Each structure stands twice: as structure tokens, then as C-alpha cells.
């Protein structure tokens, strides 16, 4: 990068989008990593995904609601960084809370009102106030790609071909061509001989971003949730499908352009507002959504790599997508996770194995990025498709009916093991999966190396053992995990490159039950056959490494 470009980059903290263009112009070919200064709360933060319908019911109708969630915020974070009685999650992603005819809410019929089953707009504002009092940010799910077939704009456009809302959607007298996956997404109108476009289903007509009206409306919706409702940002659903180009329905230049404009609008409307997008695809595709579109995206390939490594009990190759992201994107702009609301629950992926669930969560919470935990994963809840079974009610207590989720009849029966994967049961057990989450989420938040440090991969003498350093400034932590079901003795570590100055180093345990013998670093600076303590099955250890005097 030239000096002029570097100076320009410094000024970029203030005027972000303009600077991206400036740097690309000044330093063609330079990898653009320009981002707005990440909000301070993001460093070391863990986010928690909540399905309001299943979290806690306050009024006995069997449906979780905003008042129930508000009353349960201390579980998520009680605002005391020293106490590990709560999870310590600094941000919440609420799955859709706007009015919708479906139980999941991903087809919105009124973007300006909370789903009545969940409460009122005032209940939402009260939730935000209570969350902010604890230092928790609130992100809401936002659907830009499609709305509900019952949305009044679509209903009018369907019935009246002269309606101005016609331009919000795509219409054809005959079905259009199949998409590149071989599917046809053109849906027959129920009122006349024509077709509308709906990528996911006939119940979800896509918005048409080839005309300016839909984006203008979705900006208005964004401003409403940010300013009027007090939300801190959005999780943006299915963003890779926003604009079609013939059979190419995903990742088109038009989609990138809409995201660029939308993200710039969000930043200008509420400085510090945060956006995280769902691009359900490989890391290579994900990278096309930076640098100047949304702030953050879910790292699906990291999730799959982590789950696969734990399943096979072999850590080799697990870090490849992590290292690729780290080399391309700042760590506060990508988000690892284990599973989300569209996938089988993690412990189910592991055949019910608690050890595998533990080591998977350990790895998630020691990697770089901004980790997201889907509600109930911290308990080891189980569930496989159909979808309602991976979104079952939260089990709060041991003895109350329906595990304390509701005093009425739950909208969906609880998981069969809700008295085992259960908040009250696990709160009383220092070795529980919940206890692991509480300790590691707090450790991440308080340790700059673990929270925001660079990852340096290490080579281990056993394929079942994965190890890496996390480093921020002069602080270095060592993370070790045994992915296998057997205890392992005599495992050694080495680094392929220089990682320390010459000297003798000691490890102080930050997480886990073991001790690390002091080790020497010679003139090469590399770690060379550093012996590890015996590793219990599925154990995870974190050490702070310091040079001895």
C-alpha cells in the first residue's frame, strides 16, 4: 500500500464507504480490509440466538413471549462481569419477532408490529431497556429477501395490476426458467393467469430489488427498528438470494450492490449498529461479501469443519477455514457457531455423546471470531428435523411441569431429555456443559488473547489432539483439546515457525484441570516437542504462557 493509501486508510475510520472506494482507487490490487471501527462491545463478545416462542412463556398460553424473555435476561447476562452465574453473552439475536402467519416468523406480514403472540411493541422496547441495563445488545432477525403472502402489499399487488405495490414483486405471464439448481421458483397466482417469484415457497414472495421501491421500504423498516424500537442491529436472513440474474439466483452482483447500500444506510441511520448476515455457503463464497457490505457473516464452513472433526475424533484440517478467514477478514467480522435453528442440534449430531458436545463447545469458544450459541446448545439439548423439533421449548427447572417453560400447554412438546439437558440440573453441576459455557464465555470476555487474539496453529503428535496459540500483544494463551474418546499421554507440540523469544516458559492454567511443565524455547523461536500433560477424553485446556525470569 502506498503512503497516500495508508493515510487514507487512517481517515477511513470516520468515513467508511467513501474510503473503501478511495483505497481501491489508490492501491489497486491491495486487499481491501477497510471496515468501520468495530464497536467496543464486540471484542471478546459471545452472542446468543433465541427463538422467543420457545424461550419462556409469561402468561400461560404455551407460547414463549417477550415478557418471558425479559424476565430471563439474568440467565443470559446479569451485567456482573465477575460473576459466572449467567452465561455472559453480550448480545442477543432474536429470531423473527414481527407479525407473521407462521410459527417461525420468517414470512412477515407486518414489519412494524411485534407478533401478538409474543407481546406488543412496548414489550419489545421494555426488553431492549432491560437488556441494555445489563450491557446486552439486541439484534433482530430481518428478512429482506421475501415477505409473507399475507402481507397487505402483496395481497393488493396480487389483486390489482394497477397497484403501486406491483413493483415490489416480480411477475410473469408464464413461469420463468428453472434456476441453476434445476428448480422453478415461479409460483402460480391464485387470482389470475400469471406467476410471481418466490425462491423459498409460494408463501414467501420475493421482493424485487430491480426497482427502487422495495429497498426504500426495507430501509424504512430498518430505521423503525433501530430508532423507534431501539434495536442495536440485525441478523439478515438468506442474503445471498436477494437479486436474481436469470438462472443465477445467488451471490449476484445485484445482491452485493443491495447489501452495500443497505449496510451503508444502517450505519448512517444508527452509528454503531451491527449487521450479521446468513450466507449459507463455503468460505470462498463468503469472502465475496466483504469488505464493504454487512459487518459480519456466519462462518458455515467453520461450523461444519468443527462438527466433523469432533465426530471423527480427529482434528487434522479442522482449522483450514478458520485460517483462511483469519488471513482475509478481521476477527470481529466473522462468526463461528456449532449449529443454528435450521440444523440438527449439536449433541444429536454427536449421537447424544456429552463428551463430544463438550469438546465441540470448548473449541467454538476458544476460536477467533464472534461466536454465536443457539439457545439450548449450552445445555446439550437434543433435536432432529422436522424444524419444530430443533426449536423446542427451553427446559428451565427440574420439578415444574413442562420444565418450567410454561404453566399451560407448550406450543411444542419439550425434548425427551429435558430433565437431563436442563438449566436447574446443570446449574448445580460444576462439570456440566452449561458450566463450561459460563466459564469460557466469561474467560473470552476478560482475556484479550482468547477474546480477540490471532490464532497460530500448532502441530501435535496425535491426530486426535488439536492445539493452537491465541495471541494479542504480549499476551499468549495455549489452547489444547483432545477430540478422542481415550485418554492420551505423552502428546507433544511443535510450531513450524518462530513463535517466542528464546527462554524458558511456564503455563498457568486458565481452564481445565491439568498443569503444564515449563518448557524451553531455543534460538529458532519455535516450539519443539513441548510435552503436554495427560489429556482426558474430550478434554479442553487453556494455559496462559509467560516467559520465566
What is the residue whose three cell numbers read 415478557? 67
**Nearer Cβ to Ca ion, position 65 or 426?**
65
**Nearer Cβ to Ca ion, position 63 or 286?**
63
Question: Which has the closest alpha carbon to 439: 85, 24, 139?
Answer: 85
Q: Exactly one of 24, 61, 104, 537 binds Ca ion (CB under 5 A); which one? A: 61
Q: Tell me the closest approach of the beta carbon of residue 406 to Ca ion, in angstroms.
A: 7
For the chain, the helix, strand and coil percentages under 3-state DSSP, each to the nearest 5: 35, 20, 50
CA 496/CA 475 separation, integer angstroms: 20
Neighbours of 289 (CB within 10 A): 23
Which cell goes with 270? Answer: 444508527
Stretches 59-67, 136-144, 158-166, 458-466: which one binds Ca ion (CB under 5 A)?
A: 59-67
For this structure, is 237 an active site residue?
Answer: yes
Q: Tell me the closest approach of the beta carbon of residue 228 to Ca ion, in angstroms.
A: 24
Sketch the per residue contact string, 65 through 84, with Ca ion: x for CB under 5 A, - otherwise.
Answer: x-------------------
Q: Tell me the closest approach of the beta carbon of residue 426 to Ca ion, in angstroms.
A: 25
Tell me if 409 contacts Ca ion by CB under 5 A. Answer: no
What is the residue whose three cell numbers read 465441540? 360
Stretches 30-38, 62-70, 279-287, 485-493: which one binds Ca ion (CB under 5 A)?
A: 62-70
> β-strands 47-50, 372-374: how paired?
parallel
**Nearer Cβ to Ca ion, position 54 or 179?**
54
**Nearer Cβ to Ca ion, position 315 or 393?**
393
The conformational region for residue 516 under phi > 0 = left, psi -120 to 50 = alpha, else beta, is beta
Is residue 277 within 8 Å of residue 294, measured between CB atoms?
yes
Stretches 60-68, 267-275, 334-342, 501-509: which one binds Ca ion (CB under 5 A)?
A: 60-68
Stretches 52-60, 92-100, 335-343, 392-400: which one binds Ca ion (CB under 5 A)?
A: 52-60
How big is the site for Ca ion, counted in residues (CB under 5 A)? Answer: 5
Rg (CA), the chain: 24
For this structure, is 301 an active site residue?
Answer: no
Q: Exactly one of 22, 34, 63, 510 binds Ca ion (CB under 5 A); which one? A: 63
Q: Tell me the closest approach of the beta carbon of residue 57 to Ca ion, in angstroms.
A: 4
Which cell goes with 436? Answer: 463450561
DSSP element (H, E) containing 505: strand 503-511
**Nearer Cβ to Ca ion, position 79 or 408?**
408
72 to 77, 431, 499: CA distances (angstroms): 9, 23, 44
Candidates 206, 232, 237, 377; catalytic one: 237
Which residue is at the shortest CB distance from Ca ion?
65
**Nearer Cβ to Ca ion, position 55 or 468?**
55
> β-strands 233-237, 372-374: how paired?
unpaired
**Nearer Cβ to Ca ion, position 59 or 228?**
59
Q: Tell me the closest approach of the beta carbon of residue 533 to Ca ion, in angstroms.
A: 50
The secondary structure of 412-435 as a DSSP string is SPPPTTTTTS-HHHHHT-TTSHHH
**Nearer Cβ to Ca ion, position 24 or 71?**
71
Q: Tell me the closest approach of the beta carbon of residue 403 to Ca ion, in angstroms.
A: 16
Q: Tell me the closest approach of the beta carbon of residue 59 to Ca ion, in angstroms.
A: 5
HSE of 169, CA atoms in CB hemisphere, 13 A: 34
> β-strands 233-237, 274-277: how paired?
parallel
Residues 18-37 touching Ca ion, rule: CB under 5 A, are: none
CA 242/CA 254 separation, integer angstroms: 8
Neighbours of 428 (CB within 10 A): 11
Is residue 405 within 8 Å of residue 63, measured between CB atoms?
no
Stretches 57-65, 225-233, 265-273, 301-309: which one binds Ca ion (CB under 5 A)?
A: 57-65
Candidates 57, 65, 278, 332; catalytic one: 278
Q: Exactly one of 57, 141, 296, 377 binds Ca ion (CB under 5 A); which one? A: 57
Neighbours of 241 (CB within 10 A): 23
**For binding to Ca ion (CB under 5 A), which residues are involved?**
57, 59, 61, 63, 65
* Enzyme catalytic residues: 237, 278
Amino acid at each position: 500500500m502506498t503512503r497516500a493509501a495508508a493515510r487514507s486508510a487512517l481517515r477511513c475510520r470516520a468515513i467508511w464507504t467513501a474510503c473503501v472506494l478511495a483505497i481501491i482507487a489508490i492501491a489497486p490490487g491491495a486487499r481491501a480490509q477497510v471496515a468501520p471501527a468495530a464497536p467496543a462491545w464486540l471484542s471478546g463478545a459471545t452472542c446468543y440466538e433465541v427463538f422467543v416462542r420457545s424461550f419462556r412463556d409469561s402468561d400461560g398460553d404455551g407460547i414463549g413471549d417477550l415478557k418471558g424473555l425479559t424476565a430471563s435476561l439474568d440467565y443470559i447476562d446479569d451485567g456482573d462481569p465477575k460473576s459466572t452465574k449467567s452465561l455472559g453473552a453480550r448480545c442477543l439475536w432474536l429470531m423473527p419477532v414481527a407479525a407473521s402467519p407462521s410459527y417461525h416468523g420468517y414470512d412477515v406480514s407486518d414489519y412494524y408490529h411485534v407478533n401478538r403472540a409474543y407481546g406488543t411493541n412496548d414489550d419489545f422496547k421494555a426488553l431492549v431497556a432491560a437488556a441494555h441495563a445489563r450491557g446486552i445488545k439486541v439484534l433482530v432477525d430481518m428478512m429482506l429477501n421475501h415477505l409473507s403472502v399475507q402481507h397487505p402489499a402483496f395481497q393488493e399487488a396480487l389483486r390489482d395490476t394497477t397497484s403501486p405495490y406491483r413493483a415490489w414483486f416480480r411477475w410473469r405471464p408464464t413461469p420463468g426458467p428453472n434456476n441453476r439448481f434445476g428448480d422453478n421458483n415461479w409460483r402460480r397466482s391464485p387470482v389470475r393467469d400469471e406467476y410471481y417469484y418466490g425462491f423459498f415457497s409460494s408463501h414467501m414472495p420475493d421482493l424485487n430489488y430491480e426497482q427502487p421501491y422495495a429497498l426504500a421500504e426495507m430501509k424504512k423498516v430498518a430505521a423503525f427498528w433501530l430508532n423507534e424500537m431501539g434495536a442495536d442491529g440485525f441478523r439478515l436472513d438468506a442474503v445471498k438470494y436477494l437479486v436474481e440474474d436469470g438462472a443465477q439466483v445467488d451471490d449476484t452482483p445485484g445482491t452485493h450492490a443491495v447489501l452495500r447500500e443497505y449496510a451503508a444506510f444502517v450505519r448512517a441511520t444508527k452509528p454503531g449498529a451491527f449487521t450479521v448476515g446468513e450466507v449459507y455457503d463455503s468460505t470462498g463464497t463468503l469472502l465475496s461479501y466483504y469488505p464493504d457490505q454487512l459487518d459480519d457473516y456466519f462462518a458455515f464452513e467453520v461450523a461444519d469443519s468443527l462438527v466433523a472433526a469432533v465426530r471423527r475424533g480427529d482434528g487434522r484440517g479442522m482449522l483450514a477455514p478458520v485460517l483462511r478467514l483469519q488471513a482475509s477478514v478481521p476477527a470481529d467480522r466473522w462468526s463461528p457457531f456449532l449449529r443454528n435453528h435450521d440444523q440438527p442440534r449439536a449433541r444429536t449430531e454427536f449421537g447424544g455423546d456429552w463428551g463430544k458436545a463438550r469438546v465441540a463447545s470448548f473449541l467454538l469458544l476458544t476460536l477467533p471470531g464472534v461466536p454465536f450459541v443457539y439457545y439450548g446448545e449450552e445445555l446439550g439439548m437434543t433435536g432432529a428435523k422436522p424444524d419444530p423439533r430443533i426449536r423446542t421449548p427451553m427446559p428451565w427447572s427440574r420439578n415444574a411441569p413442562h420444565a418450567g417453560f410454561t404453566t399451560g400447554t407448550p406450543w411444542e412438546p419439550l425434548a425427551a431429555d429435558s430433565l437431563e439437558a436442563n438449566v436447574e440440573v446443570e446449574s448445580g453441576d460444576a462439570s456440566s456443559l452449561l458450566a463450561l459455557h459460563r466459564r469460557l464465555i466469561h474467560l473470552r470476555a476478560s482475556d484479550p488473547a482468547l477474546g480477540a487474539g490471532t490464532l497460530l496453529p500448532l502441530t501435535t503428535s496425535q491426530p486426535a489432539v488439536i492445539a493452537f496459540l491465541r495471541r494479542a500483544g504480549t499476551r499468549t494463551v495455549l489452547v489444547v483439546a483432545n477430540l478422542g474418546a481415550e485418554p492420551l499421554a505423552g502428546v507433544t507440540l511443535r510450531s513450524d515457525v518462530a513463535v517466542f523469544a528464546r527462554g524458558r516458559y511456564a503455563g498457568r492454567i486458565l481452564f481445565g484441570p491439568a498443569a503444564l511443565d515449563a518448557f524451553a524455547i531455543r534460538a529458532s523461536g519455535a516450539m519443539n516437542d513441548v510435552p503436554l500433560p495427560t489429556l482426558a477424553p474430550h478434554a479442553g485446556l487453556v494455559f496462559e504462557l509467560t516467559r520465566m525470569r
